[in-house]
């Protein structure tokens, strides 16, 4: 480890590095078998002392994870799992130095405030989506952003800041996908009033669409359960996440999404989003219900198979759905394990294995007041082969 320079935040940086160097299974970097028609294998790759949500595996095999500031003012927000089996704050200690108690002293636009998602685009970049709403509460001004980091240099290459027209107070930017041509990003907002965002990556223009549309809201009559019981906070509120899971078809022609508190999968032609949607036109007539997934968080469409992977937090399971079957297709259990406590976010590795985090939302202080603020969570890999 190189010596930190003499800087006002040097002590904070050192503490961050010490806190972030956590032991991770070397299996995270071992080569997995290529996909085949065989029983999937579930393998735990890492234990974290903080609540994880996002994971992404870049085209060069590097693995990145993120820890939102929900019930804990986490000492690390975005990290790379190194080949040595440790977590390294990414892209630097300074970007991870934000603390809620010191928010008036720090530039929110230059720090990770409450990161919800990390996604590699297959073009040499990792993008970080900062929802900027610690505890899923008030949005920190000038903090909501989408940031591109260049893998070759580990330097910030672009920052797209979202103003209040794109991310109003009450929003919670959740997950992101990128068009195959690298020109556009699509984001779900799972906040108080669900929506999608369409982003022109060249200009930085972001347009909020389907704002308040039924497809992006919680679904009436649906309640999210854990351990067979309706999951509620101490004040009686249930799970209220709006548009959350998001996936792009393998040809990039359709964007799929659904609310966590919902069972219906929706889709829309990306041509409509980057055309009429980006102009600010009403695109609601182009939305198609596409059958039911049941209660789900993360979604992923396989690069080769085109099948959709679906997290099933109520069932401690990961499912797979054949989209070629159309709206009548049903997700089928791929892996079910009681250790999969709220499977959250997917990423497909270069070898075709599927990584998934377990964020244990049902075990968090949101729903269990006696739960520790720092919630232990895990990273898993589903591999296919003999």
pLDDT 10s digits, 229-260: 999 999 999 999 999 999 999 999 999 999 99
- Which pLDDT belongs to residue 385? 78
- Which pLDDT belongs to residue 39? 87
Cα distance between residue 116 and residue 112, in whole Å: 10
Residues 96, 100, 102: CA angle, nearest 5 degrees: 90
Which residues 6+ apart lie within 8 Å of 77 measured at CB? Answer: 66, 67, 68, 69, 89, 95, 96, 98, 112, 113, 114, 115
Residues 203, 247, 351: CA angle, nearest 5 degrees: 105
On whether the CB atoms of residues 264 and 289 are closer than 8 A, the answer is: yes
* Residue of 360, 374, 382 whose CA lies nearest to 39: 382
Strands (E), 19-172: 41-48, 55-57, 63-66, 78-81, 87-89, 115-120, 125-130, 145-150, 155-161
Which domains are assigned to the chain? 10-383 (2.120.10.30)
Burial of 121 (0-12, 13-18, 19+ CB in 10 A): buried
Cα distance between residue 51 and residue 4, in whole Å: 27
Residue indicated by tokens 């505890």? 135
Burial of 229 (0-12, 13-18, 19+ CB in 10 A): exposed
* Residue of 200, 189, 90 whose CA lies nearest to 139: 189
* Residue of 150, 151, 149, 108 whose CA lies nearest to 131: 108
The SS3 assignment for 180 reads coil
Cα distance between residue 159 and residue 111, in whole Å: 11
Give the bridge partners for 231, in sequence order. Answer: none
Which residues 6+ apart lie within 8 Å of 108 measured at CB? Answer: 98, 132, 140, 141, 142, 143
- Which pLDDT belongs to residue 12? 41
The segments of the chain whose pLDDT lies below 70 read 1-37, 386
CA-CA distances (angstroms) from residue 290 to 88, 205, 215, 281, 298? 40, 29, 11, 23, 16
Cα distance between residue 57 and residue 62, in whole Å: 6
């Amino acid at each position: 480890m190189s010596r930190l320079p003499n800087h006002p935040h040097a002590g904070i940086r050192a503490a961050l590095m010490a806190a972030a160097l956590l032991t991770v299974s070397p299996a995270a970097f071992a080569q997995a078998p290529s996909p085949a028609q065989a029983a999937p294998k579930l393998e735990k790759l890492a234990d974290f002392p903080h609540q994880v949500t996002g994971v992404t595996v870049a085209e060069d095999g590097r693995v990145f994870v993120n820890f939102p500031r929900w019930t804990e003012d986490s000492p690390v927000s975005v990290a790379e799992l190194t080949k040595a089996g440790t977590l390294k704050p990414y892209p630097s200690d300074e970007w991870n130095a934000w603390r809620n108690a010191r928010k008036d002293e720090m530039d929110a636009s230059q720090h990770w405030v409450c990161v919800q998602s990390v996604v590699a685009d297959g073009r040499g970049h990792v993008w970080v989506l900062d929802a900027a709403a610690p505890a899923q509460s008030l949005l920190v001004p000038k903090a909501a952003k989408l940031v591109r980091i260049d893998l070759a240099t580990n330097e910030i290459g672009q920052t797209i800041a979202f103003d209040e027209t794109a991310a109003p107070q009450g929003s919670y930017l959740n997950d992101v996908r990128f068009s195959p041509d690298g020109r556009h990003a699509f984001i779900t907002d799972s906040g108080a009033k669900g929506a999608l965002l369409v982003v022109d990556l060249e200009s930085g223009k972001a347009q909020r669409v389907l704002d308040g549309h039924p497809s992006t809201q919680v679904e009436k009559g649906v309640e999210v359960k854990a351990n067979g019981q309706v999951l509620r906070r101490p004040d009686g509120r249930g799970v209220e996440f709006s548009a959350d899971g998001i996936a792009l078809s393998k040809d990039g022609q359709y964007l799929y999404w659904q609310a966590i508190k919902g069972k219906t999968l929706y889709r829309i032609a990306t041509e409509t989003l980057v055309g009429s949607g980006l102009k600010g036109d009403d695109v609601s007539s182009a939305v198609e219900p596409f059958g039911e997934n049941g209660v789900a968080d993360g979604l992923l469409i396989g690069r080769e198979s085109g099948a959709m992977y679906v997290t099933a937090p109520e069932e401690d399971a990961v499912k797979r759905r054949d989209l070629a079957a159309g709206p009548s297709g049903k997700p089928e259990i791929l892996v079910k394990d009681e250790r999969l406590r709220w499977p959250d976010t997917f990423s497909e590795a270069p070898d075709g294995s599927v990584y998934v985090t377990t964020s244990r939302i049902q075990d968090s202080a949101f729903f269990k007041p006696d739960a520790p603020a720092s919630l232990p969570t895990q990273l898993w890999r589903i591999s296919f082969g003999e």
